[in-house]
């Protein structure tokens, strides 16, 4: 990730936390989650701010990386993880079951359709690459 991207993400995370999950600018009116993940190589905890569309009681985030030619590192980190992660949603911190849905999955067209309808910039991202973006379904779980 470039230094510019790290700085942008840090700004988004700080704004999210200072405003109970509300972030303006390009995210005005959209739901964001802060998804925690552990680097599969570094072992360090990281936080990714992501646009999240609803799918019932779950949330869908997408590994679009703005249309970059490769998946963002957090997708592989989630795949390598324990199957659950921490998410920040508004002013709540929750545990969520993670399911990475690849374009080869029968569920992918429906889930990607929900996310791309919620985040119209997806259409522009698609023009920048030939890859299909993975979706991660985040299903909050009972902490007990």
CA distance 5 to 97: 27
**pLDDT for the residue numbered 142:** 74
Judge whether residue 94 has pLDDT over 60: yes
CATH domain 3-140 topology = Pnp Oxidase; Chain A (2.30.110)
Cα gap 78→141, rounded to integer Å: 16
Distances, alpha carbon 103 to alpha carbons 68, 85, 129, 133, 140, in Å: 16, 22, 14, 7, 23
Asked whether the predicted pLDDT for residue 144 surpasses 60, the reply is no
CB neighbour list of residue 144: distance below 8 Å, 6 or more residues apart: none
Strands laid side by side in the 32-38 sheet? 45-51, 32-38, 84-89, 92-101, 135-140, 58-62, 53-55
Average pLDDT over residues 41-63: 97
**Domain layout of the chain by residue ranges:** 3-140
pLDDT of residue 10: 94
Give per-residue pLDDT as tens, 128-142: 999 999 999 999 997
Q: What is the mean pLDDT of residues 9-28?
A: 95
Provide the mean pLDDT of the chain. 94
């Amino acid at each position: 990730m470039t230094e510019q991207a790290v700085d942008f993400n840090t700004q988004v995370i700080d704004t999210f936390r200072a405003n109970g999950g509300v972030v303006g600018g390009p995210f005005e009116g959209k739901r964001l989650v802060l998804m925690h993940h552990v680097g599969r190589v570094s072992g360090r905890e990281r936080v990714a701010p992501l646009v999240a569309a609803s799918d019932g009681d779950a949330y869908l985030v997408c590994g679009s990386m703005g249309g970059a030619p490769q998946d963002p590192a957090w997708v592989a980190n989630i795949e390598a993880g324990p199957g659950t992660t921490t998410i920040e949603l508004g002013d709540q911190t929750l545990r969520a079951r993670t399911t990475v849905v690849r374009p080869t999955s029968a569920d992918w067209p429906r889930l990607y359709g929900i996310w791309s309808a919620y985040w119209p910039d997806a259409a522009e991202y698609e023009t920048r690459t030939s890859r299909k973006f993975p979706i991660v379904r985040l299903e909050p779980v009972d902490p007990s």
